A and B are shown apart, each in its own frame.
Chain A
C-alpha cells in the first residue's frame, strides 16, 4: 500500500486542475484576510473594515493595490539578492503545500476520472513537512538578509519556534497515520468512513492544532512578528510587494493548515450518514476549513502572546511528551486490536 499511488490523470487534466486550485487558493487569501479583520472586529465590539465597497468587501483589493504600488527599498546593510529571494521562498512553499489538500475524491467529469486535489502523494504528510521545513528558510533568510537587529531577532525566534513545534506537529500526525494505515491523503479520508479521527485521536488533534498555531506564526505564538516587542520581527525592513508576499504566505499557511486539519481529523469531504455527491465535496471541505479558520481568528482574539521561555518550555516539556504518549498509546492499541 505504501509508496503506491494507483491512479494518474492525463497530463492536461493535471494542468487544468493545477490552475483551478491555484486560482481558488489565491482568491481565498483576500477572503480570509477581510474575514479575519471583520470577525476580529466583532470579537472586540466593533465592525472592522466597512468603508471600501459593500460591507468592506473590497478592502483587501485596496490593501493589495496600496502595497503593490509602493516603492521598493532596502536597508544599506541588507544582502540584496537574498533580501529579494526570501519572500519568494515563503510564498512558493505555501502554494506548494496547497497541492496536497484533497478537496474531493476521484470523480467523473465528462467521462474522465479527476481527483479533486493537486497531487495524491504516497507520502502526503511528509510532503507537507518537507515544504514546512523549507518555509522556515523564508523567514530565516528574510530576517537575516535584512541586516537589522530586530529582523534578526525575529528570524532567530522563528527558527527556534518552528523547529521545536514541527516535532510535536509531526508526532501528532503519526497517531492518525497509524490508525489509517496509509500516508496518502485521500486514503486517510477514506479510512474515516466510519468515524472522523477527531474522536479516537482527540489528543492528537489538540496537539496538532496547538502546534499549527506555532507553525503558522499566529497568535498566541506570534513571537516571530511580535510587533510590541521587536517591531515587526523578520519583516520589519520589508515593504511594498515583498511585504505583501510575506503577508500572503502567512494567510495561505493558515488555509493550508486548516485544510490539513480538515483532511486528517474532520474526515475531509465525508459527512456521517450522507453520501456526499462529487460536486458537493469541495464545498464540504471548504466549509470545514472555514470552521478552522474561524477558530484561528477566535484564538487570536482571545489569548495574549506567550513569553519566549514559556513558548520553549511549553513546546518541549508539555506538547512533545503529550504527542509522544499519544503516538505510543495509539500504536499499542492498533497492535493489540489488530
Chain B
C-alpha cells in the first residue's frame, strides 16, 4: 500500500464512493426489476427484460461508476481487506430502508447489523494502525 495518492485519488475515499454507488444502485435495481417483472416468462430469468425500466439504466450508470472506483481500489488495497470492507453496503441498505422508508427493523435484524459492524471493526482496526504509521 505504498505510494498511495491523496485527495480525490485516495483509495479509501474511492472505496467509499464505490460503496455509495452500489448502495443507491441496489435500491434502484430492485425498484426497476419489480416495475417490469414478468415472472411467467422464461426469458426473464436472464434479466434482459429489466432493461425496459429507466431505473435499471440509472442503476447501470452507477454500477459502472462504482466499477471504475473499485478497479482503482484494487490497485492499492488487498482484496482480502477491501472486499469485506465494501460489504458495509449490506447494513447500509436495511438502515436506508429504516431511515428513509420508515420500515421496521426486527430484533434479529439489529443483531445481524451489530455482527456486521463488529466484523467490519475487526477488519478495519489494523488498517487504522497501518495509516498511523505512514
Q: Check if A and B associate.
A: no
- B residues apposed to A, CB below 8 Å: none
